[in-house]
Amino acid sequence: RRVHTSLIRSPAPYVVIIVGHDGIVRFASSAMSEVLGHDPADLIGHPYDVLVPPDAGERHRAHHGTYITRPTARPMGRGLSLRARHKAGYDIPVEIALVPLPGSPPFVAASIRDVSASRLAVERLAATNELLTLALGGADREQLVRSAVVLARRHLGATICWLAEIEDTEMS
């Protein structure tokens, strides 16, 4: 059976992929190369396994087998931190939505969105909140400086951290 993809366009920064019940890619949008580094044409006719991080492969195949017997439109991995494997070999955080397509055998369309930027923003916001909580909770100067350096390294990737102390003066 031929999958009609003439109406599927992906100008947005997310990938649309159509997979058969057998796990073989039938279609991949042009965003695949930008988001996950794969040329869409290279994936067609091959298993989608190259997009699944190796440590999640076996578990994902089991989920796929269960899902394909009773497919429903839903987000994948609700409440989990999902990752997809970039062609260069690293994982990126993603959100994935699944939509079964009518017909037999079943096909599934998946929308894959890179959420790296939003996850980083949430982490940075949490770090800022942690510092504010310490400051408002009466932490001493040394504890604040230590925490600021740790958080800058962890959440900003800083290797050097400069802190400036601003004197509390009244404005006239």
What amino acid occupies position 38? H
From CA 106, how far away is CA 23, in angstroms rounded? 11
Predicted confidence at residue 19, as pLDDT, reads: 93
129 vs 166, more confident: 129
From CA 92, how far away is CA 132, in angstroms rounded? 29
Predicted confidence at residue 1, as pLDDT, reads: 47
Cβ atoms 50, 37 nearer than 8 A: no
- pLDDT tens digits, 121-153: 777 788 778 777 877 777 787 887 778 777 777
- pLDDT tens digits, 19-58: 998 999 999 998 898 899 999 999 999 999 999 999 988 8
Q: What is the mean pLDDT of residues 72-96?
A: 90
